[in-house]
Copies of this chain bind each other. A is one copy, B any other.
């Protein structure tokens, strides 16, 4: 992120005369977060970076390749952000509750995901989305399994929970004006967890 070649120790982490592929990818990712996937256009990006659009094609063969690079950049970041936080929690039911709460309240980390959700049309988005979804599904399945569900039930519940997650984000996007008050929202999240997280497996009440 900071200096590169002959930088004479500038304190502002702006940019030197020359750009790298990573600079373009990060700029694209910023744009996605701000204005969505559709906003990633070569000419506006070039303007923003203070170069002509022709120079873009030295770094990437096409606009799609840039998008792909940007999204893969996000993919590796989010992987540790989400899973790193949760891995520490040993109790599976507690971990599931945390996962739901994290998803419900930590809006920032879902900005890019939501942007991708709105742009599944785009060929560059689909493969990334697919890998991320697959990974999350497997994680959920394992957690439900540990929480006491059978193999097949755990798979199905994971599918349902993930669908609820995706659909929840969609509803957030769709019903932006008629947003329910905070209290209402918390009650919904509680309802969701109560419905989807299995109860403690009954055991000898000592």
Partner of A167, one of B134, B156, B162, B174: B162
Q: Are A156 and B121 in contact (CB under 8 A)?
A: no
Q: Are A163 and B171 in contact (CB under 8 A)?
A: yes
Does A49 sit at the interface, judged by CB under 8 A?
Answer: no
Complex Cα–Cα for A165 and B163 (A) = 7
A119 contacts across to B, CB distance below 8 A: 118-121
Q: Are B121 and A174 in contact (CB under 8 A)?
A: no
Majority-rule SS of A interface residues: helix
A165 contacts across to B, CB distance below 8 A: 163, 167
A3-11, A60-68, A186-194 - the one binding chain B: A186-194
Complex Cα–Cα for A121 and B35 (A) = 10
Task: Render A106-124 as a binary contact track against B, CB cut-off 8 A, 1 for contact.
Answer: 0000000000011111100
25 of the cross-chain contacts (CB-CB < 8 Å) are A38-B122, A117-B120, A118-B119, A118-B121, A119-B119, A120-B173, A121-B121, A133-B175, A134-B175, A156-B187, A157-B191, A157-B195, A159-B168, A160-B188, A160-B195, A162-B167, A163-B164, A163-B165, A163-B166, A163-B168, A165-B167, A166-B167, A166-B170, A170-B170, A195-B195
Residues of A with Cβ closer than 8 Å to B?
36-38, 117-122, 126, 129-130, 133-134, 152-153, 155-157, 159-160, 162-168, 170-171, 173-175, 178, 187-188, 191-192, 195-196
